[in-house]
């Protein structure tokens, strides 16, 4: 009799566990669906908290070089090709530790073709 009672309790706990699993999975999928719809509907903005966007620090320049490049970069006369650039090559670029002015080179259509950094010291 005790063995039957333990089997009944075990089966009950198992069934409750399966029910909770299914219920939580449905709640998860509903939440995921709503989140995806909201992301498609809302426009996401990014705001910069930089007063002078034409001047960047040495750290910001190095952080830029740590990522894959979208454009060719010219730093004090050193050309960094976006297709050949690798973050492990940064030390070979001989970049001075100073503030840098940032300007852009455009093509005939007004698209950016190169970002130019010039040290300010």
pLDDT of residue 43: 55
Q: Which domain holds residue 82?
A: 55-119
The pLDDT tens digits along the chain (121 residues) read 888 889 999 999 999 999 999 999 999 998 888 888 777 765 555 444 444 467 888 888 988 898 899 999 999 988 999 999 888 888 888 888 899 999 999 988 888 999 999 998 7
Q: Is the domain of 24 the same as that of 63?
A: no
82, two tokens: 């976006």
Residue 50 lies in a domain: no
Q: Is the residue at 69 inside a domain?
A: yes
Q: Check whether residue 100 and residue 66 sit in a common domain.
A: yes
Q: How far apart are the first and last CA of the chain?
A: 90
Q: Do 22 and 65 have their domain in common?
A: no
Same-domain check for residues 80 and 100? yes
**What pLDDT does residue 55 have?**
84
Please report the pLDDT score of residue 53 as a whole number: 63
């Amino acid at each position: 009799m005790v063995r039957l009672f333990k089997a009944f309790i075990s089966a009950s706990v198992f069934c409750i566990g399966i029910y909770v699993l299914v219920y939580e999975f449905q709640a998860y999928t509903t939440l995921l669906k709503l989140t995806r719809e909201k992301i498609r509907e809302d426009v996401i903005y990014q705001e910069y908290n930089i007063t002078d966007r034409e001047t960047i620090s040495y750290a910001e320049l190095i952080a830029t070089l740590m990522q894959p490049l979208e454009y060719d970069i010219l730093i004090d006369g050193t050309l960094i090709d976006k297709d050949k650039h690798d973050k492990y090559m940064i030390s070979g670029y001989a970049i001075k530790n100073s503030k840098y002015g940032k300007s852009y080179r455009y093509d005939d259509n007004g698209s950016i073709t190169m970002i130019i950094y010039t040290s300010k010291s």
